[in-house]
Amino acid sequence: MDYKGGVKALITHLENNLFEREKCARLVLLAIFAGKAIFLYGPPGTAKSMIARKVSLAFGTPEDIFGPLDIG
Cβ pair 29, 13 in contact under 8 A: no
For residue range 20-64, what is the model confidence (pLDDT) as tens digits? 888 888 888 888 888 888 898 989 988 888 888 888 888 765 565
40-47, long-range: CB < 8 A, 24+ apart: 46/21, 47/18, 47/21
Q: So what's the pLDDT on residue 58?
A: 80
pLDDT band (50, 70, 90) for residue 17? confident
Global confidence as pTM: 0.68
Q: So what's the pLDDT on residue 9?
A: 86
Q: So what's the pLDDT on residue 72?
A: 62
For the chain, the domains span 3-66
